[in-house]
């Protein structure tokens, strides 16, 4: 049996220890969300866990990403990458991005 916890399936509640800026990527375990609005430290806010967002990507030779590719959040570089390693799964690329593109459109998947 299950009981409704959150009526909006597009967001999850989040209370950060330090302030979060709108657009920040927040990783909780394997759950990746994007702050739609700023959230003050120790205040309840929301993270979007569905939708399509432009994520920063590396701008190096060989960093082009094709549509449909799975991408992962590289917290140290604060970019999405196709490299799994210790990175956390974010979703699939909606629109291809060239090597010189600074962002890539990603459909969040949980």
Query: Is 21 part of a structural domain of the chain?
Result: yes
pLDDT at 75: 94
Give the number of other CB atoms < 10 A from CB of residue 88: 16
Pair (56, 95) in one structural domain: yes
* pLDDT of residue 2 exceeding 80: no
Query: Is 4 part of a structural domain of the chain?
Result: no
The tally of domains found in the chain comes to 2
Q: What is the pLDDT of residues 44-85, one digit of tens each?
A: 999 999 999 999 999 988 899 999 999 999 999 999 999 999
- Residue range of the domain that includes 25: 11-48
Pair (28, 71) in one structural domain: no
User: Per-residue DSSP letters for 1-34?
Assistant: ------S-TTEEEE--SS-B-TT-EEEETTEEEE
Q: What is the pLDDT of residues 6-38, one digit of tens each?
A: 566 799 999 999 999 999 999 999 999 999 999
pLDDT at 1: 67
**In the sheet that 52-56 helps form, which strands lie side by side, from edge to edge?**
52-56, 103-108, 88-93, 70-74, 79-81
Query: Is 3 part of a structural domain of the chain?
Result: no
**pTM listed for this prediction:** 0.89
pLDDT at 5: 58
Contacts of residue 73, defined as CB under 8 A and 6 or more positions apart, other chains included, come to 25, 27, 32, 55, 80, 87, 88, 89, 90
| 58, 64, 66, 72 alpha-carbon torsion, rounded to 10° | -20
Q: How many angstroms separate the CA atoms of 82 and 60, rounded? A: 13
Query: Is 75 part of a structural domain of the chain?
Result: yes
Phi, psi of 100 (to 5 degrees): -90, -5
pLDDT at 23: 95
């Amino acid at each position: 049996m299950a009981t409704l916890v959150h009526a909006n399936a597009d967001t999850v509640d989040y209370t950060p220890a330090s302030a979060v800026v709108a657009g920040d990527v927040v990783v909780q375990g394997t759950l990746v969300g994007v702050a739609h609005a700023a959230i003050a430290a120790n205040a309840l806010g929301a993270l979007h866990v569905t939708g399509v967002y432009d994520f920063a990507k590396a701008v190096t030779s060989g960093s082009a990403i094709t549509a449909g590719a799975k991408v992962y959040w590289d917290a140290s570089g604060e970019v999405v990458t196709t490299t799994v390693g210790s990175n956390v799964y974010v979703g699939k690329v909606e629109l291809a991005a060239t090597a010189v593109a600074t962002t890539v459109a990603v459909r969040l998947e949980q």
